[in-house]
Amino acid sequence: MSTNSAGFICGIFHPKLVESKTDLGWQFRKDEQARVISQFLYRPVLWEHEGERIGRIENIKTSNKNDEMLCYINVYENGKFVLDKLKKNEVLGLSVGYESDKLGPYRIGKFDGKEISLTSKPAMKTTWVVAHSSGDDFYISKTGVKTI
């Protein structure tokens, strides 16, 4: 697998941060946010949570506005198909891959971030690919225009 860069993607998550230590569902608590975000730095990027890595998280941080998580992704040569899908509006967002102990649908214990996937059908409706670049071309996504 070549890790040569084919382009970059900028995405945004608006996570549902909860205060409760018991009612978590899949989401994470506000007091976990800094730790969770730091877990994703340099983690792999996949397509739809499967297959080989198509990139990696180069930078991830929280904005001062609405606790948005800003994610900068380096897309490898083998992930170039995702950049082509973005041009056709076939990639609609990002999705967090994580592990945690669960009791039914509820998370118990620590949130352990494993990867971030680019996806055509994000489970959360509060995630967008804002911009992407390939070679000398720079694009602002249709969903990104609404966000900016």
Tokens 């380096």 label which residue? 74
Show the tokens assigned to 93: 């967002």
Q: Around Cβ 103, how many Cβ atoms within 10 Å?
A: 8
The confidence score (pLDDT) of residue 24 equals 54
pLDDT in tens, 100-129: 776 676 666 677 778 999 988 887 777 888
Rounded Cα distance, 110 and 121, in Å: 26
Bridge partners of residue 56, in order along the sequence = 44, 74
Rounded Cα distance, 54 and 121, in Å: 18
pLDDT by position in tens, the chain (length 148): 678 999 999 998 876 655 555 555 556 677 777 888 888 899 999 999 999 999 999 999 887 766 778 899 999 999 999 999 988 888 878 888 877 776 676 666 677 778 999 988 887 777 888 888 988 888 887 655 444 4
The confidence score (pLDDT) of residue 22 equals 57
Q: How far apart are the first and last CA of the chain?
A: 34
At residue 33, φ and ψ (nearest 5 deg) are: -55, -50
